[in-house]
Amino acid sequence: MAMTIHVDIVSAETEIFSGVAESLSAPAIMGEVGIYPRHTQMLTPLKPGEVRIVKQGGEEEAIYVSGGVMEVQPHVVTILSDTAVRASDLDEAAALEAKREAEEALKDREGEMELAEAQSQLAQAVAQLRTIEAMRKKLRR
C-alpha cells in the first residue's frame, strides 16, 4: 500500500477539506510544488490557484484557493487558505478606510457635544418657563 499524508485545507470561515492523500500539488509563490509523504518541513505562501490532491486509490480532487499559507510536516500538510483577495495595496486601502471612519467619528463628536449641550439648555429653559407659568397662575388667584 502506498504511503499517505494527511491533508487539511481550512479557511478562516470554514473547513474545506480534510483527509488522507497519496500526494498533492499546490501553487506556491515560487512556483508549483508537489508534496509526497515524508517531505521535509516547509512553510510557504500560496498564490491563487488550484490545489490538486491525489487521494488514496488514485482519485484526484482539485480545490481552488485564493492564496494563503501552506505548512508541510512529514506526515501532515496544512493549507491555511485566504477567504479575501489579498494584496498589499488593498490592505493599505482597508487600513486607510478604517482610520478615516474613526476620524470622521471624532469630528462628529463635536457635533454631538453641541447637540447635547443645546438639549440641556433647552431643558433648563423649558423648566424656567414652567416655573414662571406656575407663579403667574398663583398670582392671579
Partner 1 sequence: MASGKEIRTKIKSIQNTQKITRAMEMVAASKMRKAQDRMAASRPYADKMRNVIHHLAFAHPEYKHPYLLERPEVNRVGYIIVSSDRGLCGGLNNNMFREVMKDMQAWKAKGVESSVCTIGSKAASFFKRFTDIKAKVTQLGDTPSVSDLIGTVKVMLDAYDAGEVDRIYLVFNEFVNTMSQKPQIEQLLPAMPAEEDKKELGYHWDYIYEPDAKAVLDGLLVRYIESLVYQGVVENSACEMAARMVAMKAASDNAGDLIDDLALAYNKARQAAITQELSEIVAGAAAV
Residues found near partner 1 in the complex (CB under 8 A): 8, 10-15, 18, 28-30, 33, 40-45, 68-69, 71, 73, 78, 80, 82-86, 91-99, 101-102, 105-106, 109
The residue type of 5 is I
> Closer CB to partner 1, residue 113 or residue 135?
113
Cα angle: 128, vertex 133, 135; to 5 degrees: 95
8 A C-beta contact, residue 70 and residue 39: no
Name the minimum Å distance from CB 137 to partner 1. 25
Bridge-based pairing of strands 60-73 and 14-28 is: unpaired
Name the minimum Å distance from CB 24 to partner 1. 16
Name the minimum Å distance from CB 120 to partner 1. 16
> Closer CB to partner 1, residue 102 or residue 139?
102
Q: Which helix (H) or strand (E) holds 129?
A: helix 88-140
Name the minimum Å distance from CB 131 to partner 1. 28
Beta bridge partners of 48: 66
Q: Which three cell numbers stand for residue 127?
A: 423648566
Q: How many CB atoms sit inside 10 A of residue 113's CB?
A: 10
> Closer CB to partner 1, residue 54 or residue 77?
77
